[in-house]
Structure 1
Amino acid sequence: MHSTKHNRRRGALRAVAVAFPETVRRNQWWEDHHPALVANAREATLAKLWDNFADPSTLGAYDRAFAPYLRDPWRGTVERRVMGPEDTARSLSARAIREAMEAGGYGPDDIDLILVNALRPDSHVVGDAAFLVGELGLRAPAIDFETACSSALVGVHLASDLIAAGRYERILVVTCCTYTRDVDQADSFSWFLGDGAGAMIVEAVEASPAHEGLLAAHTIPTVETCGAFAYHLELVDGAPALRIVGNKKLAGRSIRDHSERYLRTCVDGALSEAGASLSEVDFLVCNTPTAWYGPFCADVLGFEGRFVDNYPRFANCGPALWPNNLHTALCEGRVRPGDLVLGYSIGSVSTACAVLLRVGEVAVGAQP
């Protein structure tokens, strides 16, 4: 999947906002409610889904980044946002959309297309897109799409390409994660998961080297991770319920063994398309599905200190990870107008994607 860099138009980010549940669940919650689970995890040393690696000094970048967390049962997770009984994928997505539109000064008639991702949506098979249009009083067509944790970045890529093709002037991309409603809190897997949503507005600008916008993109499949995670239907308290299930043998190993190749392939492809080099890039915005993934990416690419890692505060909130890190970078002034930003996101059982974008004036919603 490649962007049409020779067209006269491209998509530029105009607004970014995030929304999270109010409930913050810290590690102490499991100490209080499931003490035996925590004690067993400490005794076992390693979390149930991750492999025990050899001496990190003899291994590659991924294992070096992972090494500091070998003896931490929480694997660097400090807190996560957890959906309450009134929260839904649609309510989180709607909050993020309202924040982005208000920040950017947009009304219902200003959006031409909405790209909606939820992992997972509130109903089975049918996505949340049409429901959100109705709830928010928008006038644009809405399309559901899904490519797991890389959805936000792929959504920006798709939006820019549709704008470059002349189809639309302004596209809203919203991504949402609802992991915690589908995981047993008495399972240590729940320690690493959180919920949240992000919304971004992409607008048409003139395509020239000096102007802002998405300059290039490169997306590849992550087929080696197929089977690492899945949703299964199980009986919970006598009723059928979806549960996220991780393959103990495959999950950690497949991500570890292929992460560096995915990263380099996507980044090299995007840079080549743009005719740029890493030395020209000002900042890295990557997704952070684990505590060590951001440091790993920064180490491989040479961006030490020039990236944002929200994992300790929000844990793995899937497709909301990338917009949340971008939002933080903008709010803290670490990414400024004129900066050349490298975006990268990996999704299990889906795709990995890198984009190169020149940032202009971007309106931001409130910090969570």
Structure 2
Amino acid sequence: VSLQTACSLVQTGQYRNVLVVVSTTYSRYTDENDTLAFLSGDGAGAFVVGKLKPNQGILGTKIANTAATCGAFYNEFTTDEHGNVKMFIRGGKGASKMFNETTVKFIRLCCHGAIANAGLTLDQINFFVFNTPSAWYSRVCTRALGIEPERTININPLYANIGPTFPVANLYHAAHAGKIRENDLVLVYTMGSSSNAGSCVMRWGDVALGPAPASSVSLSQQEDRILIRQ
């Protein structure tokens, strides 16, 4: 939605360049004793939307409401040992069943919808960018669309679940690795629980990239610092 809004502001001539910033701070809202804490991360990203060459930029979009996943997650208010009020994100009962019933449906609805809106076919897309909130989500997306895993990227092992930051982060890493080049057709899909799912097809422009982010610290990178007592 933020990308659509920024593009509209540029297309109408109200602004030449629009800066969009997205971020997530899940560590603030996850209980360290909850398994969600091990699956969540913090992240931020930014991009500038401006004019491109003819036929570059957003070609088609599709957004769907995800009210069917309402209750998959909820906010719980509690107090810490000092009496301070804290809010935690919790997984709801039946969340797995909800996602089993809706994940593939939303992937196909939005991705095929955006491709049709752009007047293209699935085979014409050069690269796919999916949100990757779990280690297996990228594989679900490729299987749902019947595409090769080599046509996408999965950065979940780097950052865990960074929510709304995924589209920017995945695009950055794909472009930085040379997987996306100017004039490639790129499909981006993202999904939020109890909000909306969306997809867009764009023709990649001559995009400048900022410096690569610092490497995240993970347990696998810190094994030499962990003392295991027998």
- Which structure ranks higher in relative contact order (CA pairs < 8 Å, sequence separation ≥ 6)? 1
Indicate which of 3, 11, 15 corresponds to 1:164.
Answer: 11
Amino acid at match of 2:165: A
Please state if 1:191 is matched with 2:35.
Answer: no
Please report how far the alpha carbon of residue 160 of structure 1 lies from its aligned counterpart in structure 2 after TM superposition.
1.3
Please report how far the alpha carbon of residue 355 of structure 1 lies from its aligned counterpart in structure 2 after TM superposition.
0.2
Please state if 1:355 is matched with 2:203.
Answer: no
- Length-normalised TM-score, structure 2: 0.88
Alignment match, 2:90: 245
Alpha-carbon distance in 2 for matches of 1:194, 1:213: 30
Amino acid at match of 1:343: V
Please state if 1:367 is matched with 2:212.
Answer: yes
Please state if 1:215 is matched with 2:59.
Answer: yes
Task: Give yes or no for contact 1:157–1:355 (8 Å, CA) kept in 2.
Answer: no
SS of the counterpart of 1:205?
coil
Please report how far the alpha carbon of residue 256 of structure 1 lies from its aligned counterpart in structure 2 after TM superposition.
1.8
Task: Give yes or no for contact 1:288–1:322 (8 Å, CA) kept in 2.
Answer: no
Alignment match, 1:321: 166
Task: Give yes or no for contact 1:284–1:303 (8 Å, CA) kept in 2.
Answer: no
Pairing of 1:115-264 with structure 2 (within 5 A): 154-205=1-52, 208=54, 211-237=55-81, 238-249=83-94, 251-264=95-108
C-alpha spacing 1:303/1:170, structure 2 compared with 1 (3 Å): farther
Amino acid at match of 2:45: G
Please state if 1:333 is matched with 2:178.
Answer: yes
- Length-normalised TM-score, structure 1: 0.56
| More displaced 10-residue stretch of structure 1: 178-187 or 275-284 | 178-187
Alignment match, 1:113: none
SS of the counterpart of 2:48?
strand
Alpha-carbon distance in 2 for matches of 1:213, 1:189: 36
SS of the counterpart of 2:52?
strand
Structure 2 residues not aligned, in runs of 5+: 214-230
Indicate which of 125, 131, 156 corresponds to 1:311.
Answer: 156
Of all paired residues, the percent bearing the same amino acid is 36
Please report how far the alpha carbon of residue 173 of structure 1 lies from its aligned counterpart in structure 2 after TM superposition.
1.0
SS of the counterpart of 1:363?
coil
Amino acid at match of 1:333: G
Alignment match, 1:120: none
Task: Give yes or no for contact 2:112–2:122 (8 Å, CA) kept in 1.
Answer: no
Alpha-carbon distance in 1 for matches of 2:38, 2:48: 32
Alpha-carbon distance in 2 for matches of 1:161, 1:275: 20
Please report how far the alpha carbon of residue 285 of structure 1 lies from its aligned counterpart in structure 2 after TM superposition.
0.7
SS of the counterpart of 1:364?
coil
Pairing of 1:39-50 with structure 2 (within 5 A): none
Aligned length: 211
Please state if 1:277 is matched with 2:121.
Answer: yes
Task: Give yes or no for contact 1:283–1:303 (8 Å, CA) kept in 2.
Answer: no
Alpha-carbon distance in 2 for matches of 1:298, 1:169: 36
Structure 1 residues not aligned, in runs of 5+: 1-153
Alpha-carbon distance in 2 for matches of 1:156, 1:288: 19
1:174-212 CA distance string (max 9 Å, x none): 110100111111222211000010111110236x4xx31
Alignment match, 1:56: none
Please report how far the alpha carbon of residue 265 of structure 1 lies from its aligned counterpart in structure 2 after TM superposition.
1.0
Amino acid at match of 1:340: L
Task: Give yes or no for contact 1:193–1:316 (8 Å, CA) kept in 2.
Answer: yes
Pairing of 1:95-114 with structure 2 (within 5 A): none
Alignment match, 1:266: 110
Please report how far the alpha carbon of residue 164 of structure 1 lies from its aligned counterpart in structure 2 after TM superposition.
2.2
SS of the counterpart of 2:199?
strand
SS of the counterpart of 1:256?
helix
Alpha-carbon distance in 1 for matches of 2:199, 2:142: 14
Please state if 1:293 is matched with 2:156.
Answer: no
